Homo-oligomer: A and B are copies of this chain.
């Protein structure tokens, strides 16, 4: 009767969700991308229960999304930082951000803007391209089984 696992599903979406498909994990990753590295920073910024945060940090570390490193300031406590696997969640976060901006702000545009660092202009929606570079829309893709 524990939570149904999708860890070994054939579908990569299911496997991803099994790893980070809960209410908190991606918010922790978001904070980590914003430069937060310590237990207290995560807890304060997210306002979440400390036991749950501890459990999530442990799990994200086991999954290789975060890693613990000796404190940067030589202090005794360790810090959490994103691995390459964790950093690569950026595109998931961007997709969630863009969907949220488009559909979850009925009261008007949200208070944050994802911009291009050079020009400070809002970025375009994520794009999917074919191998040859053509821009693909929802109708232009197909899921193949390689079995």
Interface size on A, residues (CB 8 A): 80
Task: Give the nearest-CB partner of A85 in chain B.
Answer: B103
Please state if A136 and B112 are interface contacts (CB–CB under 8 Å): no
Name the contact of A96 in the complex, choosing from B12, B117, B141 (C-beta under 8 A).
Answer: B12
Name the contact of A30 in the complex, choosing from B11, B15, B48, B104 (C-beta under 8 A).
Answer: B11
Complex interface residues of chain A between 125 and 145 (CB less than 8 A to chain B): 125-134, 136, 138-145
CB of A71 within 8 Å of the partner chain: no
Complex interface residues of chain A between 93 and 118 (CB less than 8 A to chain B): 93-105, 109-118
CB of A75 within 8 Å of the partner chain: no
Residues of B within 8 A of A27 (CB): 6, 13-14, 17
CB of A90 within 8 Å of the partner chain: yes
Please state if B19 and A21 are interface contacts (CB–CB under 8 Å): no
Please state if B112 and A123 are interface contacts (CB–CB under 8 Å): no
Give bound CA distance, A119 to B113, whole Å: 36
Q: Given A92-B99, A96-B13, A103-B85, A122 and B115 touching (CB < 8 A)?
A: no
Show 27 residue pairs from A and B whose CB-CB distance is below 8 angstroms, ordered by the A residue. Answer: A4-B23, A12-B100, A12-B104, A13-B27, A13-B96, A16-B104, A17-B96, A21-B23, A34-B143, A88-B99, A88-B102, A88-B103, A91-B99, A92-B95, A113-B146, A114-B144, A116-B130, A116-B131, A117-B140, A118-B134, A120-B142, A121-B132, A123-B141, A124-B130, A124-B131, A124-B133, A126-B126
